[in-house]
Chains A and B, each alone.
Chain A
Amino acid sequence: VSWLGLLLMTVAGAGVLRLGLGGARCGARWLELGGGFVLGFVLLGAMLGMLEDVPLAALRWPGLLGLVGVALASGTLLAWRTRSTERAPRPLPFQREGLWPLLLLALMLLLFAALLLLQVWSLPTLAWDGWNAWLAKLRAWVEARHLLPAVVFGEWLAAPAGSTLAVAGAAYPEALPRALAWLLAWHGGWNERLAHLPWAVLWPALGALCYGGLRGESVPRLAAGLTCLLLLSLPLVTAHVVLSGYADLWLASLILLALLVLLRFGRTPGWGPPALFLVCLILLPQIKLEGAIYALLLAAAALLWRLPAALRWALIGLVALLPLALWLGWTVAVPAPGLGWVMLRSGAVELPIIGVLELHWRPVAGAVAHALFVLPSFSLLWYLVPAVVVLRWRRALGSQLAPGLAFLAGAGLFHFLLFFFTEASAWAENLTSLNRLLLHVVPSWTVMLCLLLAEDEISGTQRYGRFAKSPRPPASA
């Protein structure tokens, strides 16, 4: 039943993706397979968020009907929709890219998959610190056999016994624990291996999403496969799979999906990509609160690059003047999707749910540099990022990759402000939150690096090349 449940989520998510992006591009099946699982899982959790204070068993049929409904609706709309005018570039035959390197890559991926699955299946849940937030809520619901409201300790103490559940991360979004609760509702009780299973599936799903996304941008198989292997073998990625229970890899995967959709703007015709992009933005804060910030940054990147160049740079200049406005004592309100209004004022930022963060410089550069460039968590990624950006930024700004890079620059700025100006600096020093937040953009950066490096090879041939407001037909089709 669990595997069927995971399959159904994938089918529903893949249907939504096919509807949004069309299925004509290279690698579309991979993208639908990987992205479909991620999207379907989070979508199910978000849908089940409408059910409050219900018995665990009551999740079963609404969840099932929801997934079947999404799958059927997508299928129906696909059948009715006008056929896409986009045609896929013809992929090169396997032999032209070298069959043996591809087989070697596949073998390494299979080896990694086997080793990780063995650990996910064997290791116990690590239920403390940041790892406590998501599975702890799930287990509380499953043991109580009821989705009681999760509250902080003080509220739990004040409430009548048995009416609430005390959870360390009570205010955290519930899409993941609810989707997991749906799986466990069919099982009937707590099962640690079953609770870990979606993380084991997330690993290949992220790989398929990465591979499919790159193939969709006409990156050759070998380069796409190698990028996929490098991403999936990053020590922090494997750690988040093996020590199942944390939400960051889910958030990172959905951010990657949103980024890939963003890159299709202006090339895949119709309302599909914008609608799918909007779905991703709505779902991001359902995984983690930080998702609201990323959604805001993605939305800003998408909007900015639809504007005429003069207006775009004027707006960027206006944002650059923000520190001056704050210094003059103004309060600036910025909407964060799913979170509410973020109030910026001189020396402080006020976030809904999280509270007021005092802003001043914290000397954590050494700890951050150690995490990025010395410890093995990210391998050589953060060495490669500045090198490739410096070499390619001029070309990239004039290409379809520009909004993606703008988003990643915005995310970098967000991390910089968070760790160098707020109390989160303490988490930079103990390497906990720092690594987890950087992980959010790791898949996106990995894919972006591959696209930047492959730009010469693919621009003007199979991809559409430089950014244009109105789509041009593919040159090679």
Chain B
Amino acid sequence: VTDDASLEDLLRTLAPQVLGALVRRWGQFGACEDAVQEALLAAAMQWPKEGQPDSPARWLIAVATRRLTDQMRSEAARRRREDMFAATPDANLVAPAADEARAGAHDDTLTLLFLCCHPALSAPSQIALTLRAVGGLTTAEIAHAFMVPEATMAKRVSRAKQLIRDSGGQFTMPPPAERDERLRAVLQVLYLIFNEGYTAAAGAELARSDLSSEAIRLTRLLHRLLPGDGEVTGLLALMLLTEARLAARARPDGSLIPLADQDRSLWNRELIEEGVGLVTGALASTRLGPYQIQAAIAAVHDEAERVEDTDWPQILALFQLLETISPSPMVTLSRAVAVAMVHGPAAGLDLIGQLEADERLARHHRLHAVRAHFLELAGDRDGAKVAYRTAASYATNIPERRYLEARAAERG
């Protein structure tokens, strides 16, 4: 091992394979997960000093198995002391065969993802468990990234395991009838992780922006496992096409730059090319879904050399499609932006007027920000100023709030 980064990459790639091999053999997802974390930690401490073993996976499985069996022995001893139960049979204390990490390692990773995004868990617990069990991050790293105390994150992880056990979650693939819905939950968790990192990337929160790279890494992994799934491909494309704008989306002081004002020469062409290729392929060959459409919209933006080259009629058509297959007030609000760009601000304001009756949106900063923008386009400076102020008062995201306050002040 030459440097810390490549060691960390290796360990995090091996983490779900090692965990999969253990759970497959022993069951007891929760205990195996703890044992794998300890083995990863031991490797991170020992390998730089003592050299990397010939088979890192085998080493990790052996160490994790030893931790697990130690724990089983001490629990068995405790049970013997407490109520004279028989100890764990010796056969259960034997390490798995050396080549076991290879067999089914990929399927194991997929099964792990499904288990970590179990429907019995809340979104924060699904996220925490996915990052630990599949991503190989430590509890401290996850806690730091989400800005909560480490003790809180440890509780989330152990509670998530408990809930999985209580609800009978098994280390098996969900039955085919449930698979689509379970996969949707996995995609949502990965997208939440991505957004948490991407939207925080403006500031000095490097640990948080790492979350978007981690989400992309895990989604790439999922894409390799399910190359024929259009929505997995769509989500990966959406992440890449969004990540491509990372360098242009904020000033050095962390203040936000809206899409229209971004320096497009800073966009990452390689990511755009990859994202466009992925979404084009998925749209042509798989069942249509909301991530593919959102990726297609991101692709249209990314392919415009200048903001005035943006193909708004195509974006409008895509939003109409998205609203048909996955209707929500937020999608309608996004469509309103495209409507205003194609048919003028009055048409956009009309559509927004209908949305204001929706309670969920009436108190959402984005509705007022969009209305402010339309009023501005229509030449109503005073109205725009008031709407920007209203938007700022409903925003809870600090960079967004500062941006909206600045827009209001500029219109003074």
Q: Do A and B come from one complex?
A: no
